[in-house]
Amino acid sequence: MTERTDSPMVPEQRPGDGHEATMLLERARAAVDPVLRAALGSLPAPMRRIALYHFGWENADGTPAQGGAGKAIRPALVLAAASAVGGPTARAAAVRAAAAVELVHNFTLLHDDVMDRDTTRRHRPTAWTVFGDADAILAGDALQALALRLLAEDPRPVARAASVRLADCVIELCAGQHADTDMERRAPGEVTLAETLAMAEAKTGALLGCACAIGALYAGAGDADVAALDAFGREAGLAFQLIDDVIGIWGDPRRTGKPAGADLAARKKSLPVVAALTSGTPAAAELAAAYATPHRKDDLEDLEHIALTVERAGGRDWAQTQAADRMARAMQEVARAVPDPEAAGGLLALAEFVTRRST
């Protein structure tokens, strides 16, 4: 399962729709980028070069690039959670931690792209295709170290608890990526929907939950509120992944930065596909048969046929209903930790932004 949500494009502003989220993302980038640039600048030259390329700040030859470093959803969640619980002071205190979360995210992208042999990321060739597997692995290793170093350098006592959470999250992300590659190796009939959801939670939900939890920690939240904001991020993350998988099948590649139908071509067991495969419908059997035959390059009819079969088996509807359901649960969690709707507004706007972009 690959994530298509790090498009470098500036999110479109639609009237009364996503404007607050756009502003929060831009403010998060503005706050976190200087910390990220300083951290990357401290790396030894070869690691720095790969990292700056991966972040979209340099071209492969080391010249400055115009691209962006993704939409900064995770740092924005750290800052929004800190702000929701503790206001502007907490938000300011959490900037370094927000950068650490973004470094962890990017470390996992570097490694996942190597493992998944993905060749495109944020509309550019992935780091391993440019610098080779070894250097992409090493740059990822260095980014993980840099993330935990940023937190270790933070003199605030809360940085310790944040470090433990972030390290735990890395371990969960690893387990999620393992489950993903393991499931991809198995036959379509051997994969359950429950384990696909668990994998998506570990692979995508965990870091969004961790981002919110760390923001809450920096605002001095108690255990129950930290847990509620973690759950909020996890639910929103699952909604995010569900929608991302829907886009991966039926979305517009100009918006996703990935070729249309790439997941289907690779016979990936994404959430809508597994929902369809396990639906018990006649279309499910048809889909299983289609997935048993490898895709022939540029056979667009094959991709259209499979997309339609997933839809006929209910995979698209299921994913969109699930996403809406996850979003509703996310709202409940946030209301538990931040009862004041105005204070919670930023978190809700970000969660809605992430899911609304699909429709």
Binding residues for a copy of itself (CB under 8 A): 43-44, 46-47, 107-108, 111, 114-115, 133-135, 137-142, 144-146, 148-149, 151-153, 155, 159-160, 163-164, 167-168, 170-172, 174-175, 177-179, 181-182
CA atoms of 32 and 94, how far apart (whole Å): 10
Cβ nearer to a copy of itself, comparing 182 with 304: 182
Cβ nearer to a copy of itself, comparing 9 with 148: 148
For residue 219, give both structure tokens.
Answer: 């605002």
Closest CA to 323 of 350, 283, 359: 359
Residues in the chain: 359
Letter for the amino acid at 115?
Answer: M
3-state class of 40 per DSSP?
Answer: helix
CB of 275 to a copy of itself, least distance (A): 24
CB of 150 to a copy of itself, least distance (A): 9
Residue whose structure tokens are 């209903």: 321
CA atoms of 78 and 211, how far apart (whole Å): 5
Residue whose structure tokens are 């965990």: 206
How many CB atoms within 10 Å of residue 337?
A: 25
How many CB atoms within 10 Å of residue 138?
A: 16
CB of 136 to a copy of itself, least distance (A): 10
Cβ nearer to a copy of itself, comparing 144 with 355: 144
CB of 281 to a copy of itself, least distance (A): 32
Cβ nearer to a copy of itself, comparing 217 with 310: 217
Cβ nearer to a copy of itself, comparing 45 with 66: 45
CB of 180 to a copy of itself, least distance (A): 9
What are the φ/ψ torsions at residue 64 (nearest 5 degrees)?
A: -60, 140
Cβ nearer to a copy of itself, comparing 159 with 216: 159
E strand or H helix at 121? strand 120-121
DSSP string, 67-129: ------HHHHHHHHHHHHHHHHHHHHHTHHHHHHHHHHHHHHHHHHHHHHT--EETTEE-HHH
CB of 160 to a copy of itself, least distance (A): 6
CB 298 within 8 A of CB 260: no
Cβ nearer to a copy of itself, comparing 145 with 343: 145
CB of 35 to a copy of itself, least distance (A): 15
Cβ nearer to a copy of itself, comparing 147 with 306: 147
Query: With left for phi above 0 and alpha for psi between -120 and 50, is residue 44 left, alpha or beta?
Result: beta
